[in-house]
Amino acid sequence: MAILTRQALPRRTFLKGMGAMVALPYLDAMVPVRGGAGAAVADPTRLLCMEMVHGAAGCSPFGLEEHLWAPAGTGSAFDLGATSLSPLESWRKYLTIVSNTDVRMAEAYKSEEIGGDHFRSSAVFLTQAHPTQTEGSNIFVGSSLDQMYANQFGQGTPIPSMQLCIEPLDRAGGCAYGYSCVYTDSISWASPTEPLPMIRDPRVAFEQLFGTGGTAAERAARTRSTSSILDWITGRVAQLKRELGASDRERMDQYLENIREIERRIQQVEARNSSGEARELAGAPTGVPDSFGEHVKIMFDLQVLALQSDMTRVFSFKMGRDASARVYPESGVMAGFHPASHHGNNPARVKEFAEINRYHVGLLPYLLEKLSTTMEGDKSLLDKTTIVYGSPMSDSNTHNHRRCPLILLGGGNGKLAGNVHLKAPDGTPMSNAMLSLMHSLGMDDMQSFGDSTGEFTL
């Protein structure tokens, strides 16, 4: 470890320029002198919550028989080969499969709610609470676990939490079956009546992370410029690097190059979408790639940079929108997402839908690789992160919410063992697993969550 200054560099250090503010990654120079003030540095787990709509093919009657989502074996003796989770085989050390849990709060509670599953489910995923059926302003569901965690462990960061999405949002009014569109548009709820807006445009997310500071005119001028955000802070970078040891300089160079690279990719997307050529996603913001995979990977990269710089420790990421007919050519299936999910339990069509699920899961290793190669002290960010990936729907062919797909990834700061398939007893609420998850995240005072009936040990 090389520290060239007698006093540790503050963890919350920013490099500021015209309309730009770049937080630093964790450096050796930030390690407090042994025994000095602040020697015990808080290191809360980073939390990423991801929802993929429409459940999974493996939750249908045929899919359950063929183990197309959860593998046949439990404990550590499980084979992912036949499942849509097979892309995670090389990451099974960090994989916890939680199968056979129910999201009953997404079910219809009154006759007039029947058929509205797609339009209330997303609001249930992280709240495990039943939404009030309304198209007006009297929305009500519950506080989501990401916001509970952010309230307790995210207040020391510049941005307590960030909310991202891939699909378009309606933002206002009613969607269908008497439900407000806000139930469909957000998975993150600050309170039972306060859904948080989700960012679809990577440019907007990038600006939130690195474009604050300066006047509005300065930020606008920098955004219009084709130069990099780093060009506005080169002097400060050079000054700081003279104060750092060799390993810190190398870490800084890599971090700044990652920022430059993602900024370059966003600029390329904007240039391509502003060229006048016909777009696959008509009406989408210029910063949104037409390619689903490209869009997801840019959002993953932004999350890694935000965690690395400790701008925020909490993300919610809505990777789909209920009833979307989007086609994913990279999956090899040309049927739309929602039509494919209504497969009639026909074996061939169920397997097609399983390939779409496999494609979605297949994007996760990109994030895992990035986190695993980003070191913070003597551990990787993947070791310090808990990732929740699942759906509040199980068999979307029948709008069923029993035996919903749920997996956890990452080391969770030593709280997630990994390489395990945990099958819950029939009738176990998913909220039981989420209650145990929140306890593992340090929220020990929580006695219940949603419709939980107890813990489900992870």
For the stretch 250-307, pLDDT in tens is 999 999 999 999 999 999 999 999 999 999 998 899 999 999 999 999 999 999 999 9
Q: What percent of the chain has pLDDT over 90?
A: 81
Q: Domain check: are 355 and 311 in the same one? A: yes
Contact 97, 72 (CB under 8 A): no
Share of the chain above pLDDT 70, in %: 92
Q: Does residue 249 share a domain with residue 224?
A: yes
Domain boundary among 256, 287, 318: 287
Least confidently predicted of 91-105, 195-209, 220-234:
220-234
Is 70 exceeded by the pLDDT of residue 46?
Answer: yes
Total structural domains within the chain: 2
Position 4 scores a pLDDT of 41
What's the pLDDT at 19?
A: 66
Same domain, 304 and 391: yes
**132, 105: one domain:** yes
364 and 228: one domain?
A: no
Q: Is the pLDDT score of 2 beyond 70?
A: no
What pLDDT does residue 81 have?
97
Cα 64 from Cα 405, distance rounded (Å): 11
Q: What was the pLDDT predicted at 7?
A: 73
**124 and 25 housed in the same domain:** no
Query: What's the confidence (pLDDT) of residue 6?
Result: 52
Mean pLDDT of the chain, nearest integer: 92
Q: What is the predicted pLDDT for the residue at 236?
A: 85
What's the whole-model pTM score?
0.94
Q: Which residue range(s) make up the domain with 279?
A: 1-41+214-287
Which residues, 6 or more positions from 287, have their beta carbon under 8 angstroms from its beta carbon? 201, 202, 203, 204, 266, 269, 270, 273
Q: pLDDT band for position 172 (50/70/90)?
A: low
pLDDT at 39: 42
Same domain, 165 and 28: no
319 lies in the same domain as 382:
yes
